[in-house]
Structure 1
Amino acid sequence: KAFGVPRVCSVEDVLSDPNIDAILNLTIPAAHAEICERALAADKHVYSEKPLATSLEDARGVLDSAADKGLLVGNAPDTFLGGRWQTVRTLIDDGLIGKPIGAMAFVGTRGVERHNPNPDFYYQHGGGPLLDLGPYYLTAMVFLLGPIARVSGVGRRSFDTRTIEFGPRHGEEIPVEVETHSLSTIEFESGAIASMTISFDIWDSDTPRFEVYGESGTICIPDPDPVHGANIFGGPIWYRTRAQSRWEVQPRPQGRDEWLVAENVHSYNDDSRGLGLLDLAYASREGRQPRASGELAYHVLEAMQGILSAPERGGYVDLLSSCQVPDPLPVQFPSERVVEMSNAS
């Protein structure tokens, strides 16, 4: 009553409710697989927070259970369905920058203990910057460049403890169990390559958040906030082709053309959390897999686990999984036809 919520249920109540077709799983990472399995056992589709599980074995179990039951699994992030990333995909598909050669992703923050009153799980097994923020960037890369073939990486745990600086636990020290600064390289089945830096140890940076390099141009995601980029739905998209590049005229001129700004005609440019769940709901009606699918989430999880294990395994880690590259979202989503079907039912 205090928050105007019309109905509060236990997990058991939600899972047993015959009027609920899909479960939204927003538990901590260590509980993701368990809750997904319980939802599937109750004959309900499930859309989960990232990562799908903290181990590949548990993640595979979730996907196998869904397949056995004929149910759908969706998984965050869904930011790649936002207008910015759909526009980038359109630019690439239309050949604006030619065949993609590579990409770069960067996200740097000083950790979550400065604004989160209970940041413990970010620094426990299943947490850390790679597993927390990596899904945004790797999912965007797969959406734009295709499935990943192999990965490598190195990381460090810069501090043994972190001090909570917000809320009633202000000043309390918590242990750090995971690496908090991660560098990785990614090779895609297409032959494109990428680098990625993700950290909880960086005070500030002006590095672009995300860039895609093609044979004839560059697309740049220029967010000033070091945490933004693939983890938000909208924002500016810059590009330069050969005609605007600093290398087109020799000797190079003192000045250079400004970045061109891409036109974004797609929807969902504001905070559109839940878009992936919406797509899963329509996928269940249309007999298809959701775009933010469990298969995609498993592939990204395997890539992250490979990055974490690469130093011990002595170099590159070949991925055993692949995935279907998600179809672009229609400019109008849901379509008029689907809306009419929904209204009719």
Structure 2
Amino acid sequence: MGQPLNVGIIGCGSIVAQYLATFARLGTVRLVAVADLMAERAAAVAAEVPGVRALSIDDLLADPEIALVVNLTIPLAHAEVSERIIAAGKDVYSEKPLAADGAAGAGVLRVATDAGRWVGCAPDTVLGTGTQTARRVIEDGAIGRPIAATATMVTPGHERWHPNPDFYYLPGGGPLLDMGPYYVSALIHLLGPVVSVIGSASRLREERVIGSGERAGERVPVEIDTHITGVLEHASGALSTLVMSFDAVATRSANIEVHGEAGSMVVPDPNTFDGDVLVRMLGDTDWVVEAPSAGYIDAGRGVGIHDRALVGDAARASGEVGYHALNVMESVLRAAATRTSVAVASTCTVPPRVELQKL
């Protein structure tokens, strides 16, 4: 395996704990330092992990020991911070989405290409046994040619639990750009790139009330649509229907369903790494659980960086897929605003399947 990949983290908000938990289990990744605009947050993270230093952002970027920086800043800052990381001569792995809009995302990839640096992008949930086993079922032809898929994410809004939910309701946020990357990325891995979309959108209310933390009771303005529906036309001919909402109460299933000529399949919630893949063939009266047969076993957030350490530039949680997913989501929003069908400007090569292996 060689030496571990030395990484730093910029952004020590709520999500960082999940990355720390994964890195602690890996022999392929070594966390060197963390930074945040709020120095006390970086210090608190560093205090939890022996040997990790809390640095300023400038000092972290200047550290020659660090080869890759994980960008866990808010979505509106993703592109700017990623470009700073690249300019410092380091590879970058960004939380989703790659950027707040497609133009900024294209800029990140262009700067990286010019500098000869690698860009990765969450979500890496698609590398777990759930989505990867489902992908194997499709690639093996078990359900026949895929015809359609559905993907639904319904919640009353993140302000109910997040102490600082403002960015969810600003441009670059909303249910589609926040949660859609999990679903759209999974659909890309399962059914291939998307060529065109249609969509509709609405907004239930103009402000939200924070439900937890020191700011509980404070009102947050809503500047974006909070209920999005779209239909994605994949290059393969399959049609996927998306429902992404911060306005409704709940759904009985956050799973993806894929329907083929010979059978249907339930794919686990793409915001998780594992779960049961269910298949029901034409003529059957019940669903059958598929044993895990592809993907990283017991994966967690940050497995995409582990994959990078193992396979180098061929790492599957790539900026190319992240950019295409962003283009797809942005196209759905544009289609909703214009009430027209919108062609997706980009495409991507679907990365190779992950063969079944322990993290």
Judging changes above 3 Å, is the alpha-carbon distance between structure 1 residues 208 and 136 closer, same or farther for their aligned structure 2 residues?
A: closer
For residue 305 of structure 1, what is the amino acid of its counterpart? E
- 2:322 aligned with 1:276, yes or no? no
Q: CA deviation at 1:56?
A: 1.4
- 2:309 aligned with 1:309, yes or no? no
For residue 256 of structure 2, what is the amino acid of its counterpart? F
- Between the aligned partners of 1:314 and 1:7, the Cα distance in structure 2 is 50
What residue in structure 1 maps to residue 90 of structure 2? Answer: 44
Q: Could you list the per-position Cα deviations for residues 159-199 of structure 1 after superposition, in whole angstroms to 9, with x for gaps in the alignment? A: 10111111111111110011111111000011110101011
What residue in structure 1 maps to residue 212 of structure 2? Answer: 166
Q: Could you list the per-position Cα deviations for residues 240-269 of structure 1 after superposition, in whole angstroms to 9, with x for gaps in the alignment? A: 01131xxxxxxxxxxxx3311111144545
What residue in structure 1 maps to residue 232 of structure 2? Answer: 186
- Between the aligned partners of 1:142 and 1:87, the Cα distance in structure 2 is 14
- Larger fraction in strand: 2
Equivalent residues of 1:208, 1:220 under 8 A apart: no
- 2:317 aligned with 1:292, yes or no? yes
Q: How does 1:120-135 map to 2 (within 5 A)?
A: 120-135=166-181
Q: CA deviation at 1:100?
A: 0.6
The alignment covers a number of residue pairs equal to 313
Q: How does 1:1-345 map to 2 (within 5 A)?
A: 3-5=47-49, 6-207=52-253, 209-221=255-267, 229-244=269-284, 257-266=285-294, 268-270=296-298, 272-284=300-312, 288-332=313-357
Secondary structure of the 1:101 match is strand
Judging changes above 3 Å, is the alpha-carbon distance between structure 1 residues 270 and 290 closer, same or farther for their aligned structure 2 residues?
A: same
Equivalent residues of 1:235, 1:269 under 8 A apart: no
Task: Tell me the TM-score normalised to structure 2 length.
Answer: 0.84
Judging changes above 3 Å, is the alpha-carbon distance between structure 1 residues 50 and 28 closer, same or farther for their aligned structure 2 residues?
A: same
Q: CA deviation at 1:209?
A: 2.1
For residue 29 of structure 1, what is the amino acid of its counterpart? P
What residue in structure 1 maps to residue 25 of structure 2? Answer: none
Secondary structure of the 2:314 match is coil
Equivalent residues of 2:94, 2:121 under 8 A apart: yes
Structure number with larger C-alpha Rg:
1
- Between the aligned partners of 1:312 and 1:323, the Cα distance in structure 2 is 25
Q: CA deviation at 1:68?
A: 1.0
Q: Could you list the per-position Cα deviations for residues 205-255 of structure 1 after superposition, in whole angstroms to 9, with x for gaps in the alignment? A: 22462100111000013x6xxxxx1110011111101131xxxxxxxxxxx
Judging changes above 3 Å, is the alpha-carbon distance between structure 1 residues 142 and 267 closer, same or farther for their aligned structure 2 residues?
A: closer
Q: Could you list the per-position Cα deviations for residues 105-128 of structure 1 after superposition, in whole angstroms to 9, with x for gaps in the alignment? A: 001111111111111111111100
- Between the aligned partners of 2:48 and 2:75, the Cα distance in structure 1 is 28
Q: Which runs of 4+ in 1 moved over 4 A?
A: none
For residue 239 of structure 1, what is the amino acid of its counterpart? V
For residue 276 of structure 2, what is the amino acid of its counterpart? P
- Aligned identity (percent) is 45
Q: CA deviation at 1:320?
A: 1.7
- Between the aligned partners of 2:337 and 2:245, the Cα distance in structure 1 is 20
Judging changes above 3 Å, is the alpha-carbon distance between structure 1 residues 28 and 194 closer, same or farther for their aligned structure 2 residues?
A: same
For residue 292 of structure 2, what is the amino acid of its counterpart? N
For residue 70 of structure 2, what is the amino acid of its counterpart? L
Q: CA deviation at 1:71?
A: 1.1
Judging changes above 3 Å, is the alpha-carbon distance between structure 1 residues 121 and 187 closer, same or farther for their aligned structure 2 residues?
A: same
Equivalent residues of 2:155, 2:246 under 8 A apart: yes
- Between the aligned partners of 2:229 and 2:295, the Cα distance in structure 1 is 33
Secondary structure of the 1:264 match is coil
Equivalent residues of 1:72, 1:289 under 8 A apart: no
Unmatched 5+ stretches in structure 2: 1-42
